[in-house]
Structure 1
Amino acid sequence: MTHATIPETMRAAVWSGDSPRLTVETIPVPTPKAEEALVKIVSCGVCHTDLHVLKGDVAFPGPGVVGHEISGEVVRIGQGTANAGEIGVGTPVVGAFIMPCTECEQCQAGRDDLCEKFFGENRLKGNLFDGTSRLARADGQRLSMYSMAGMADYAVVPLSALTARPSGIPAEESAILGCAAFTAYGAVRKAEVAEGETVAVFAVGGVGASLIQIAKHRGAGKIIAVDVADEKLDAARALGADEVVNSAQRDPREAILEMTDGKGVHVAFEALGLPQTFTQAASCLREGGRMVAIGIAPTGVVGEVEISPLVRRGQTVTGSFGAVTRKDLPEVVELAAEGGYLLKEAVTRRYSLDDVDAAYQALDRGEITGRAIVVM
């Protein structure tokens, strides 16, 4: 099954592997294999996790192509695909960054977020499930794929990581459903945020802003946003935060205790991956409180948690990496379709592929409020 107008070459944002910069190159359009789709990309989100790769904070083999939350249209289904389900040529889709193999022990147990092949082959080696990449430079040099390598005109995506995009939600902004909203959705579900509970969100970038929206939709009571940038805190208020704390000006633990009558919050989310915000988030919990760590840190970075309050007050600290793709991605898309997640408000900047490097440089400088996207 193939769209008739697929070109032989495409443009892609290539990372050399030895510099935190991206260069747009013309490379061959990849070919999907069985149980994979070729997606013509409409847009791709600009995420901090990509930035960690570009800066060498996490181990990933270069050269390669980053970009892991996409919106697009299926233009080819890989030969030998047994059952593509609702996904066919011409289907508008959203793709999640966790691409489950569907066959390993974790996937069989319904833990797509712990897929052994995804982490072993894709995140460590830049491959798809068969141990090879679908991308190469014009001269044949192999290129690694970070998730589906979505910062390009086309991307090969396992069908397991795609869900149909309803016509009622905007195509360009929908890209952020595959990571920013998807990650927040998984974290809120893992925290079991209950109606009326108080919530603190540490760092209100793309994921943090999504946490506010999804926790509010879940019925959270008071939501407190913590960041060092007033612009981001103003945006957090617009998305549903009831109180804000500029942690560059005020101790966040003291402020949160004051805002919660000295009790602390039921749930704290840490969405940045810094030792200080990790410790601060854990320190502001009430009895039985839950802290969920979401932000990715460079290899070897450690966050401290005071032991006695954790034990005596029955608190919980847990990690959450994305969500369960096959179950949660359709639910996230449905949430946006119902108006429970405001896509247009969450996306604050747009870049062309020519300006993709500038997008990540702006992200690194902390200039992007909410989420930016690259429109192909």
Structure 2
Amino acid sequence: MALNRSSAILRKVIRGGCSSRTPAVSSYSSSLFNSYSYSIRTRSNSTESDSKGVTSSAAGYHINNGSSYMRGAVFWEPNKPLTFEDFHMPRPKANELLIKTKACGVCHSDLHVIKGELPFPSPCVVGHEITGEVVEHGPLTDSKIVQRFPVGSKIVGAFIMPCGSCFYCSKANDLCESFFAYNRAKGTLYDGETRLFFRSNGKPAYMYSMGGLAEYCVVPAHALTVLPNSLPYTESAILGCAVFTAYGAMAHAAQLLPGDSIAVIGIGGVGSSCLQIARAFGASEIIAVDVQDEKLQKAKIFGATHTINARNEDAVTKIKEITEGKGVDVAVEALGRSLTFSQCVQSVRDGGKAVMIGLTLSGAKGEVDINHLVRRQIKVIGSYGGRARQDLPKLVKLAERGTFNLEAAVSRKCKFEEAVEVYKDLDKGSIIGRAVVEIM
């Protein structure tokens, strides 16, 4: 009965919702941070006035006492400390908003950058899963954007930040050309420039998505959705990546239907979100696969009907056993490993879908039996996330109605100053679910 109620609510949200990764190394990988040291540089006085007028005055801001400066967590290079640095207050441009960051989720995508596994310009500010408050609109911003996001609005941001006008954005796909060409390739926004400049020397720093692990960040308006007062800042941060990625995999890549069976390999922040979304979609059998009993135990809270510890038994064999020898309709790989890629493909029934959402070391390959793929009509699908303008409002509604349990999904909260340590713990596999940094 509860399942039917959740499915009905979800269908209603999908029909009526307003329009506008993760990587997962998890506990499958051994810690590569044993020699990785962290440090925190002492913060300068963030309320100091800018006597030289280097940036526009922030005195009108009703947050942070009108500071002209802010702090951000900076990645310099692999195996070098992640440090806190002062920046000039970032300035939004047309159709961009300056956000006072309230919370930022801790994601394996950031960890891949920190470890040098994904190439990205540096120095950069990581963090791409945020909630916050609007404090300024860029000059010449469209009046409809100003009306939708007035100063003081609560917002949640998606890590994919659509430009709104490229070939893919025009098709409501949100595989935005500008996002990949500028942000992911160059660490900038879509005029080819960053919004981050060090206070000490005026030199630029680059932005991983919006560079959300900072006290303020600049975000293109198309990546934002209003967060209702009924939802908390901290837990809601995961809507922008962990839940957003899971929803994109379920709704668009897998096109999961009520009654389908599904296996999720890797029960981290994204994988556990996949379990909740699969339950909301009305999946009949939801199989959680991991190597940690603690994660598998919690998976039952998120909707898993079966759990498999892949350290103790063969995951593919067990999945086939649960599904009477056929395999699942949909298997999801949420780790980003060659082994689990293969397990995912082998776990689906004839005509089934193997959905890959885990990012991995740049250049890593996955193998597949071509004859099995062809003869059994297996579909191998990559899924990077949802559609920010269409899906993020729906996810907010799911969370507001309790169909998606945000509180259960967030297993750890930490202060801004503790952010560097939480990535170390993430690499060790000691975070069950999702961690969120509180910056407010």
Provide the secondary structure at the position in 2 that maps to 1:245: strand
Worse overlay, 17-26 or 128-137: 17-26
Post-superposition CA distance 1:52-75 (Å, at most 9, x none): 111111110100100001011101
Provide the rounded CA distance (Å) in 2 between the counterparts of 1:92 and 1:41. Answer: 10
Residue in structure 2 matched with residue 184 of structure 1 by the alignment: 246
User: 1-side partners of 2:67 and 2:114: how far apart?
Assistant: 28
Residue identity matched to 2:123: P
**Separation (CA, whole Å) in 2 of partners of 1:309 and 1:285:** 11
TM-score (norm 2): 0.84
* SS of residue in 2 equivalent to 1:239: coil
Question: Which residue matches 1:375?
Answer: 438
Distance 1:357 1:207 in 2: 21
Match of 2:388 among 304, 325, 338: 325
The answer for the alignment partner of 2:405 in structure 1 is 342
In structure 1, the residue matched to 2:176 is 115
Aligned residues: 375
Identify the range of structure 1 (237-246 vs 79-88) with the bigger mean alpha-carbon deviation.
79-88
Contact 1:18–1:62, Cα closer than 8 Å, also in 2: no
Equivalent position to 2:186, from 111, 119, 125: 125
Between the aligned partners of 1:216 and 1:21, the Cα distance in structure 2 is 40
Residue of 87, 96, 109 corresponding to 1:49: 109
168-177 or 79-88, larger mean C-alpha shift: 79-88
Using the TM superposition, give the Cα deviation of residue 21 of structure 1 relative to its aligned residue in structure 2, in angstroms: 3.7
Question: Which of 370, 374, 399 matches 1:311?
Answer: 374
Counterpart amino acid of residue 207 in structure 2: M
What is the letter of the counterpart of residue 291 of structure 1?
Answer: A
Q: Structure 1 CA distance, aligned partners of 2:373 and 2:78?
A: 41
CA distance in 2, matches of 1:98, 1:369: 25
Distance in structure 2 (CA, Å) of the matches to 1:355 and 1:21? 14
2:230 to 163, 168, 174: 168
What SS does the aligned partner of 2:364 have? coil
- Structure number with higher relative contact order (C-alpha < 8 Å, ≥ 6 residues apart): 2
Alignment partner, residue 297 of structure 2? 234
In our comparison, the structure showing a higher alpha carbon Rg is 2
What SS class does the counterpart of residue 270 from structure 2 fall into? Answer: helix
- State the shift of 1:151 in Å: 0.3
Instruction: Please say if residues 53 and 59 of structure 1, whose CA atoms lie closer than 8 Å, have aligned partners that are also in contact.
Output: yes
Distance 1:90 1:208 in 2: 33
Question: Residue 169 of structure 1 aligns to a residue in which SS?
Answer: coil
> Aligned Cα RMSD in Å?
1.2
1:58 is aligned to 2:118? yes
Residues 211-240 of structure 1, C-alpha deviation per residue, up to 9 Å, x if partnerless? 000010000011000011111111111111
CA distance in structure 2 between the partners assigned to 1:286 and 1:340 by the alignment? 29
In structure 1, the residue corresponding to 2:225 is in which secondary structure?
Answer: strand
Pair 1:142–1:366, CA change in 2 (3 A): same
State the TM-score, normalizing by the size of structure 1: 0.98
d(CA) in 1 for partners of 2:121, 2:233: 31
CA distance in structure 2 between the aligned counterparts of 1:22 and 1:204, rounded to whole angstroms = 27
Structure 2: which 5+ runs fail to align? 1-57
SS at match of 1:341: coil
1:295 aligned to 2:324? Answer: no
In 1, the alpha carbon distance for the partners of 2:197 and 2:431 equals 31
Structure 1 counterpart SS, 2:233? coil
CA distance in 2, matches of 1:94, 1:67: 13
Q: What secondary structure sits across from 1:238 in the alignment?
A: coil
Cα deviation, 1:65-115, whole Å, max 9, x if unaligned, reads 000010111011111102315111111000000000111111111111x11
C-alpha displacement at 1:20, in angstroms?
A: 5.5
Relative distance call for 1:18 and 1:286 in structure 2 (3 A) is closer
Distance 2:132 2:77 in 1: 27
**Does structure 2 retain, via aligned residues, the 8 Å contact 1:21–1:54?**
no
For 1:25, the aligned partner's letter is E
Separation of aligned partners in 2, 1:300 and 1:3: 45
Q: Which amino acid aligns with 1:54?
A: I
Query: Which ranges in structure 1 are unaligned for 5 or more consecutive residues?
Result: none
Where does residue 70 of structure 1 map in the other structure?
130
What's the counterpart of residue 61 of structure 2?
3
* 1:34 aligns with one of 63, 84, 94: 94
1:12 maps to 2:72: yes
Q: 2:127 is matched by which residue type in structure 1?
A: G
